[in-house]
């Protein structure tokens, strides 16, 4: 089945409007701006749904960010209000204190602390600016757990979580976003690798497997299946003990 970018875009815009009517009438949409396709498309959808006056972008470099000009390009293109909050001092201070108490931390702790600090930053901005935080993850990332638990995996609402990468890109083109933002090579911003280098397979391969059930590389298929199985908890509500008082 072909993807109808026009219809899906219009449906998402209507959904965002309805969501805000029920969950934040008159509130602003707050989202982190990385300059990549997901935050760009999510921001553009919110502008289309709410108007640029109700969308606030937050740029969150951790010290120096070599591609922050792409984030600024999106802000300028959409004409939205934005803030730049450098998380370096907060990140390093917290990491230093935790490391001191534990006698050192793992590499995964170092990598995943930054997105958790960024999410805390988004909620700080949101609470001070009458906002609701936008989750910008897509289905392809969520499928294999390519997000940080309680970092970029969360938010108050998510316009893209049921769309794979190729569909997000199609919506970006329909919305008239600059091609360099849509096709910007995704880098995790954590350990310096591109997404596809770290995953070990391409998004094109993953998207085809998700939508068509086809993956001709048995080894990569097995890896995708394993990642899917072990990361389902990231996209569920927190598991709770099912106590039923008699």
Contact 24, 87 (CB under 8 A): no
pLDDT of residue 45: 98
DSSP 106: -
Contact 57, 43 (CB under 8 A): yes
Domain interval for residue 44:
5-184
Whether residue 209 is contained in a domain is answered as: no
> Nearest-5° angle of CA 47, CA 51, CA 55?
60
Whether residue 238 is contained in a domain is answered as: no
pLDDT tens track, the chain, 246 positions? 689 999 999 999 999 999 999 999 999 999 999 989 999 999 999 999 999 999 999 999 999 998 899 999 999 999 999 999 999 999 999 999 999 999 999 999 999 999 999 999 999 999 999 999 999 999 999 999 999 999 999 999 999 999 999 999 999 999 999 999 999 876 655 556 788 888 999 999 999 999 999 999 999 999 999 999 999 999 888 889 999 998
Contact 164, 186 (CB under 8 A): no
Whether residue 120 is contained in a domain is answered as: yes
Whether residue 213 is contained in a domain is answered as: no
Whether residue 191 is contained in a domain is answered as: no
End-to-end CA distance of the chain: 49
pLDDT of residue 134: 98
pLDDT of residue 238: 86
Task: Say how many C-beta atoms besides its own lie within 10 A of residue 50's C-beta.
Answer: 18
Whether residue 193 is contained in a domain is answered as: no
CATH of the domain at 180: 3.40.50.620
Whether residue 155 is contained in a domain is answered as: yes
Phi, psi of 235 (to 5 degrees): -110, 10
Whether residue 245 is contained in a domain is answered as: no
What does the DSSP assignment read for 97-156?
Answer: HHHHHHTS--HHHHHHHHHHHHHHHHHHHHHHTTEEEBP---HHHHHTT-S-TTTTT--S
pLDDT of residue 191: 57
Tokens standing for residue 96: 């230093």
Give the total number of structural domains in the chain. 1
Task: Say how many C-beta atoms besides its own lie within 10 A of residue 56's C-beta.
Answer: 25
pLDDT of residue 17: 98
Contact 17, 26 (CB under 8 A): no
Pick from 141, 150, 160, 168: nearest CA to 227 = 141
């Amino acid at each position: 089945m072909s993807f109808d970018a026009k219809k899906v875009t219009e449906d998402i815009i209507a959904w965002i409007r309805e969501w805000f009517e029920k969950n934040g009438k008159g509130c602003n949409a707050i989202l982190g701006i990385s300059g990549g396709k997901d935050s760009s498309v999510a921001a553009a959808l919110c502008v289309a749904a709410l108007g640029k006056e109700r969308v606030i972008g937050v740029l969150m470099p951790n010290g120096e960010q070599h591609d922050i000009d792409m984030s600024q390009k999106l802000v300028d293109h959409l004409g939205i209000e934005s803030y730049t909050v450098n998380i370096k001092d907060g990140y390093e201070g917290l990491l230093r204190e935790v490391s001191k108490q534990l006698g050192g931390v793992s590499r995964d702790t170092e990598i995943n602390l930054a997105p958790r600090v960024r999410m805390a930053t988004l909620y700080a901005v949101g609470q001070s600016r009458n906002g609701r935080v936008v989750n910008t993850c897509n289905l392809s990332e969520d499928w294999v757990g390519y997000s940080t638990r309680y970092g970029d995996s969360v938010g108050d609402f998510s316009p893209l979580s049921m769309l794979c990468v190729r569909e997000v890109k199609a919506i970006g083109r329909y919305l008239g976003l600059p091609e360099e933002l849509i096709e910007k090579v995704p880098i995790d911003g954590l350990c310096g690798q591109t997404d596809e280098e770290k995953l070990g397979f391409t998004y094109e391969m993953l998207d085809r497997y998700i939508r068509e059930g086809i993956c001709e590389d048995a080894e990569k298929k097995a890896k995708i299946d394993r990642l899917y199985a072990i990361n389902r908890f990231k996209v569920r509500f927190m598991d709770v003990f099912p106590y039923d008082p008699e």
